Structure 1
Amino acid sequence: MAAGSVLLAVAALVLYGAWAVASGVATRSLSALNAVFVSYVASLVVVGGVVVAARRPMTGSRVDVAFAAVSGVCLAAATVSFYAALARGNLAVVSAIVALYFVVPAVVGVLYFDAQLSAANVAGLALAVVAVVLVAA
């Protein structure tokens, strides 16, 4: 894996962690929907600025654009669910459970995209689930 991709992945890790903490703080007095709305407006400002600065035309097939839209709908629904869970539960427990999202694409990849998982991959997925169960206990 290229060093640049690792650096970006670590940046995403730190920023997702900061997002989870900020979300938990926001839902102390804001409703989940209002907190999501404010965060998405801020996100649009950031992403919109990057898109404008990059000056790249949108290219891609209609199917891929449709999947990008579907991913946005899924992300919005997941974010509302996450914020609502934070408003009702423990930040550490809720964040740990949500962090298991990577299991879904792993299973979908095996079932629908002929992805192959090694024994180590399966063990890693199982240990991640066990870790979340222990954190949530």
Structure 2
Amino acid sequence: MQSIPAMRKYSNKTSLFSILFLISFHSYSQENKAIQKLDTELQKCLDDTQNNMLNCTQVYYTKIDEQLNITYKKIRTNLSKPEQEKLKTQQLAWLKKRDQYFKKVKAETTKELDGENESQDYRMICSHKNALFVRDRIIELEKTYSKN
């Protein structure tokens, strides 16, 4: 059984993480059922105290990354060849930006955790921030290429 301070620490982390997630969840006002479903699944996983929060965020990252691939392919099939090339160039540039962002997240999170970069907290925070970055790309693609 955990001590009271350990339980408070866990409870505070859970509350903070849930608040941050809910803010990001509500920041997307456009209707995207796939993202909403993944966001809801993540929140349910995080709310279940029997679940490992790290596992919840890692599964979410995997699923949101898969959704990016689905969205990219779906958009690409509806474009002309020149538009497809333009999208590909933009996506390659975004991938470089993503890699830089992920490195920045690792460095900032290590600093926030006083040099700790092996803990579950570290991996959970990085995984969640990375997932939100990918999620934002899906939203950006859909806004840019949605048919009005």
TM-score, normalised relative to structure 2: 0.29
